[in-house]
Amino acid sequence: MDSRTKILNAASELFLEGGGAGLSVRAISKRAGMSTIGIYSHFQGKQGILDALYIEGFNMVRDAMDVVAEGKASKAQVLESCMGYLKVGEQNEAHYRLIFGETDAGYEPSEEAISARTSAFSKLVRVAGSYLPDTSTSIEHRQIALDLWAIVHGYVSISHHASLTHDPSVDWKAMALRVVEIHLDAVMN
């Protein structure tokens, strides 16, 4: 594992344990088994590390939703895109929590980080919007993307709260996809 990956993995672990407040260059260097100088040689301190995690997180979301090259999306493809989003939230909890607001008050995403966020949302608009009839507007494309985002984000967020998820019989992904499918059917009727 390269040094950059070690640093980001250590930062992810610390973020899960204590949020943005739990991150310091010293704590990250200790967890990664590196000197603080080694951290600064790869990143511009804590802000640079948070930016790298933020960008990685949104890139994972965007890539997970990239299921339609061009043309119309089928309902199955939209569901596959939503499943990809749900998996990212489940498998990369630290990234997910960071990109959706669980940071410390001092973090401001860079231009590059904002661009990664915009690219991920644009992918969702593209996939969800291409499911709609050809006569639909860009406003309708954006609205269905926001609807689907609210559904899957809600389920991921709820699943991250341990007190609500002690019941192993609860399948959050299946529930979210069922609601997405109901919404897609309603939109087309």
Domains and their CATH numbers in the chain: 1-43 (1.10.10.60), 46-188 (1.10.357.10)
Closest residue by Cα to residue 26 from 139, 133, 14, 121: 14
pLDDT of residue 149: 94
30 contacts: CB under 8 Å, gap ≥ 6: none
pLDDT of residue 103: 63
pLDDT of residue 102: 67
Please tell me the pTM assigned to this model: 0.87
pLDDT tens for the 189 residues of the chain, in order: 799 999 999 999 998 888 777 788 999 999 999 999 988 999 888 889 989 999 999 999 999 999 887 788 999 999 999 999 999 998 988 888 888 876 665 788 999 999 999 999 999 999 999 999 999 999 999 999 999 999 999 988 887 775 555 667 778 889 999 999 999 999 988
Give CA–CA dist 84/181, Å, rounded. 15
Computed from CA positions of residues 68, 71, 77, 82, in that sequence, does the dihedral angle turn out positive or negative? positive
pLDDT of residue 78: 95
* Longest Cα separation, the chain: 60
pLDDT of residue 164: 56
